[in-house]
């Protein structure tokens, strides 16, 4: 297949591009590099089946040649990024989603929307199932991301119902692994960076809030299954093993050998108290389940952070140049 991946230089996007190439597909990576890193896909530029082009998906998306699938990952995803770029985040979820839906429709291609567990907000139902409508503050500081994704889901389903688009939606829960930016503000990358830098680990609240952490390789296998399926979803993709933030911090300290301890700060507004996916639908519909344990995944991620030469974590200002056929 030839697969268009928006946000292809980002954390998840770069892993998806790599795995698609590995299985024999052709990949067209689109990215404006506002939060992605050129280094994430630099090693792919010599691959003849890989194309990379600077593209803001909120503007008109031009891709020539055949397209068999479109995977829409382009969006700020960390609280630090979408707080810094609130209007751009809303635009990526609205105009960006529609531009890529139109691209898929023109080519009669499969369209996969990377949505998020944030559509559930601070959930009142636990664990979260796909038929739960969520508990979201539409005007809170996190709403630019939450509501952008909720709108993107509604738009995708409208295209499916009214235009016959082959649409699929996945809701991605907390994912971690190599190529996370050290300063992106996410809890795993923050804890690992602080531990390796000899700092105390910063916990917001008392650390009793829970998350479910999925290793990136597992998440990508679920995305691939959704690309190949012709099911609308939505499907939760995440690891149903629920951990407190304090447990995560203590595990990072153990793996890194840090003895700096923990520091507690006030909990941010609208931060979810509990988060765990029910993945029954994904198991039954996609044959998918996560396999990498948190301890193993964190060990791999710590090793990557320790070896990564670009510790700034800042988006690259140098765009890779590729072919567009």
Marked catalytic residue, from 145, 159, 176, 215: 145
Task: Tell me the backbone φ, ψ of residue 203, rounded to 5 degrees.
Answer: -110, 130
* 74 close to 17: Cβ distance less than 8 angstroms: no
Cβ contacts of residue 51 below 8 Å, gap of 6+? Answer: 26, 27, 28, 29, 322, 323, 324, 325
Please choose, from the candidates 32, 54, 159, the residue with its C-alpha nearest in 3D space to the C-alpha of residue 101: 159
Catalytic residue list contains 132? no
CA-CA distance, 134 to 131, in Å (whole number)? 9
CA-CA distance, 195 to 190, in Å (whole number)? 8
CA dihedral sign of residues 183, 190, 11, 232? negative
Written as one string, the DSSP assignment of 122-177 is S-SSSSB-TT---B--TTSTTHHHHHHHHHHHHHHHHHHHHH--EEEEEEE--EE-
Please choose, from the candidates 194, 189, 193, 184, the residue with its C-alpha nearest in 3D space to the C-alpha of residue 35: 184
Structure token pair of residue 209 = 């809030």
Cβ contacts of residue 176 below 8 Å, gap of 6+? Answer: 186, 188, 189, 213, 214, 215, 216, 297, 298, 301
- Look up residue 95 and give its DSSP letter: I
Catalytic positions: 145
């Amino acid at each position: 297949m030839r697969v268009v991946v928006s946000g292809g230089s980002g954390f998840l996007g770069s892993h998806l591009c790599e795995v698609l190439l590995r299985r024999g597909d052709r990949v067209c990576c689109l990215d404006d590099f506002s939060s992605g890193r050129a280094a994430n896909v630099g090693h792919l530029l010599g691959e003849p089946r890989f194309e990379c082009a600077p593209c803001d998906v909120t503007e008109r998306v031009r891709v020539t040649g055949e397209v068999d699938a479109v995977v829409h990952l382009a969006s700020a995803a960390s609280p630090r990024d979408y707080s810094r770029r609130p209007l751009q985040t809303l635009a990526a979820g609205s105009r960006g989603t529609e531009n890529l839906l139109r691209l898929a429709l023109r080519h009669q291609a499969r369209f996969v929307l990377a949505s998020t567990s944030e559509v559930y907000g601070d959930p009142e139902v636990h664990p979260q199932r796909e038929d739960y409508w969520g508990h979201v503050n539409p005007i809170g500081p996190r709403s630019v991301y939450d509501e952008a994704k909720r709108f993107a889901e509604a738009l995708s389903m409208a295209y499916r119902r009214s235009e016959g688009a082959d649409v699929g939606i996945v809701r991605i829960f907390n994912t971690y692994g190599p190529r996370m930016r050290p300063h992106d503000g996410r809890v795993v990358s923050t804890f690992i960076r602080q531990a390796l830098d000899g700092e105390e680990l910063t916990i917001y609240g008392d650390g009793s809030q829970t998350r479910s952490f999925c290793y990136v390789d597992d998440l990508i296998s679920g995305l691939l299954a959704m690309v190949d399926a012709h099911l609308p979803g939505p499907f939760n993709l995440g690891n149903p093993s629920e951990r407190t933030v304090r447990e995560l911090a203590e595990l990072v300290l153990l793996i890194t050998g840090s003895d700096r301890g923990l520091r507690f700060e006030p909990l941010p507004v609208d931060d979810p108290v509990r988060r765990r996916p029910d993945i029954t639908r994904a198991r039954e519909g996609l044959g998918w389940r996560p396999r990498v344990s948190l301890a193993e995944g964190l060990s791999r991620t710590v090793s990557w952070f320790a070896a990564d030469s670009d510790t700034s974590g800042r988006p690259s200002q140098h765009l890779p140049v590729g072919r567009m056929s």
